[in-house]
Amino acid sequence: MTGCDRDILISRIIDGEASPEDWTAFKSLADRDGSVWHDLATAQQDQFELEGGLAVAYEIADAVEAPVEQMVRESFQGRLRLVGSYGGWAVAAMLVLAATTGNFRGGPSNRADVLGPLTPEDAYQKYVEAGQRDGTVVGELPERIVLDSRPNVTGSGYEVIYIKQIVEKAIVPGRLEIGTNEVGSPVPLYKVRKGLGTW
């Protein structure tokens, strides 16, 4: 067993994810090398200290009220401005779409055949897939950030408000500088030419 395998085995035990086979392998390893018990104890202590530190950080973060409503309002207003500036192109695209689906000829059109299923999740997946094909979408983060949860009004289950995260890349017409965020960590700052909007 390599050092990496040994570390993975200890990590599974610490995380509570060890299978019966993992425990058998650990016991066999411990019979051959007693120092593995010391490594397990050290890892457990590290985990305990990490959880304690995270609990403190979580309490602090939980006490902070994020201006989510304000950000949503500002984002919506920005989208409205964008619609106003590109509305003509959107109408032209809709006319082309209507012409190609038969709506101008009076014939029936099957929008599901042309556009595919029209659910928000399908549209999201099409966006991600198209972005991955053209190279603008690098991937998705599997974790979702939960903003709020409350019992569902129907009485069954919960309504959860969360953020899906997409990792994207872009070419920006400006130079990159390093600045700091609200906690002092270094972050990239793009100095974009005026008139192109905010990055």
pTM value surpassing 0.85? no
Can you give the residue ranges of every domain in the chain? Answer: 3-63, 67-116, 117-168, 170-199
Q: Examine the pLDDT at 188 and tell me if it is beyond 80.
A: no
Counting residues of the chain whose pLDDT is more than 70, the rounded percentage is 73
The Cα 72–Cα 183 span in angstroms is 22
Contact residues for 19 (Cβ-Cβ < 8 A; gap 6+): 12
95-112: pLDDT as tens digits: 777 777 665 555 555 555
As given in the structure block, the two tokens for residue 109 are 């059109």
The Cα 60–Cα 49 span in angstroms is 17
Neighbours of 154 (CB within 10 A): 7
25-59: pLDDT as tens digits: 999 989 998 899 999 899 888 888 888 888 888 88
Average pLDDT over residues 146-152: 87
Q: Examine the pLDDT at 68 and tell me if it is beyond 60.
A: yes
